[in-house]
Structure 1
Amino acid sequence: MKDSNAHRLSAAGVTVAHGQQVAVRRASLTIGAGEIVALVGPSGSGKSTLLGAIAGFYPIQSGAIWIGEEMVASPTLSLPPERRRVGMVFQSHALWPQWMVVDNVAYPLRRRGMARLLARREAESVLAAVGMDAFAARYPSELSGGQRQRVGLARALASRPELYLFDEPTASLDPANRETFMHEVRERIRQTGAAALYVSHQADEALSLAHRVAVMMHGEILQVGSPAEVYENPRTAEIARLLGPAACATGVVREVNGSGQALVQIADSEQTVRLTSAPRSADLGRRTLMMRPEWCELTADDEASLPCRVVRVQYVGHRTLYELESLAGRLLASHVGPPQYQEGQRVGWKVRRACVMEG
């Protein structure tokens, strides 16, 4: 059954197979009006296949998909893509090279029976909304990658869908054009009240753009939550590393209190750590701890820190990331600005925050 009338997309128990190979296994996801959900996962995890099933490109073997109030797919039903009130933006732009920009944008309107002149006028209006009206008479080959992607967004907007589907649309864009495109996506969703499912392999993009993040691996959606929830409390180490640098180490949680503090022993170092989730008595004992580099710091080798050796230094402009060798295994730390320590140097390591992993 559909979960709620307020959802622009409801997918319940969706399975998609290519021949004998199951690409998506019983995936369930809802997206509300005005909401952007990012779908992240490694290559081959089933992200684009699920997106294609929602768009109408692949039949489903189990479950059901609703767009708004209409069921569009089940094992016995599959509405064609042009009847699904979906606007799709592809990584490859997917523009017809022989058509001018305005005709590319007008295409979905013409497919729905709008007269050519009226469709062109509507397309020009949408192009103006994304700052591309001056390029209406140009051909795709005359545009930059960022401009072509904005035309793709305009084409999706022109159809006035209930749901936008984005398939890694910024993969070929430079950082400046990527940020511009993401800003336009946020603004259009806010203004129209539509919903968006945004497939991305870039964790920083997903975390900064979306209201919620869905993590997909091995054909299954394993975790859904706010960007902060999935980043700070991932269910598995694999999810943790997918969303950003992370180190896992075994520690003994000796005490927890109501303020979120825990006394933790990691190797031969006892440290006071703030847990990312509410402390529970079940957290006590020998547990796996996940730690982001920005939750850790390097100090002079003192009694309150864990002795380590720096094995790798990576300066990325706004911060420096360190990989460390210790009795607890591989650890990470970072700080803002240029490097302060060198490879081979002995340092002390402290952790301020940690996530107690499930299981």
Structure 2
Amino acid sequence: MADWLLTWEGPINEVAGLTERIWIIEREPGSCFDRIALREVRGGEVRYPYPVLILPGMFSHGEQLIHVSWHGIQPTISLTQHPDTAIPLYLAKRGFLTYTVDYRTHFVMPDIKDLSFMLKWGWDAWLSDVKVVVDKVKELGGKDEVILIGESFGGIASMNFASVDQESIKAIVFLDGAPIKEQAPRIISAASISELEAKKLYAVQSLIGLEFSGGLANQVWLRALYNPSLPSPNPNFRTLADYLVDVLYRAGLANPYSYPYTPKEVAFAVMATFDPYWPARLLIEPTDKFRVGYGNVRVPTLAIVSEFGMRIVDMEVLNRINTKIITLKGYGHLDVYANPNNVKNVNEPVYDWLLNLT
């Protein structure tokens, strides 16, 4: 397969003093969708020795974490209003060489009809991608180890990767994304890869908003973002925006009613910039071969867990590896990543913890 190709280098227009570089590499088996991108965010001076690699969550991607955009389409919310809520920018501004990744899913457009190729995108493919990304980050950072920060699904991926290759890892930060309880409910009606194939259930779309959009879920969030006074489809709410933020609240994703007081426009911008599809295989594929190695992970670990996360995070695993745990009462899942209050409740504690490692 081809090597990494540098495709972009320039300033991050939304935040003065930061620059971005983007590389793309083709992956096996080599279709036009089998590719990933690595994004580097750098401030004026790199002051800390170990590079940071942030693995996004389900449906998320590095472009979203840096720009709150999707293939260059940026909603009306300006990143300059709350730049420190984005942890890649927060850490880069303070001297960390910071990286994140666009998964293969970022290159699958909404109008693709045949998604059968995604049936091959299981844990082996995903962790092989993480491996080549980690190796590239080590090369660029000039170190033998990287700091992994895993958001949501990215935290599970970080732990699974550590169970087979912890020699490459300096430390792990779980941002509402630690390993989940084995008895956590499934969200799709299939129990095996063969059943997925038989049902032609190759991918899932975003699980919130589909009933309103007539198609891909991000459309309804864009409508609410650009036209917050549109009437609500539910008579208990005056506007579409009021209704949708309550949908997020009931799903455990946001908390507009008490601290940390989710700003509607921030949550909607995140929902509107998710990738359209996620591999169904990753939702059902057993992780036993990784879980047996969890107890052998010996790198320092920090977990920040929202009130939503407390329902599903496997605290036994975290305690077994001597994780420092910070719980955030009232926080929804998205609040950990995109809420003005996450600067003092999430990003500052992560930064302080990382300083003690370097």
The TM-score with structure 1 as length reference comes to 0.22
Greater RCO (Cα-Cα under 8 Å, separation 6 or more)? 2
More helix by share: 2
Highest Rg: 1 or 2?
A: 1
TM-score norm. by structure 2 comes to: 0.23
Q: Which has the higher strand share?
A: 1
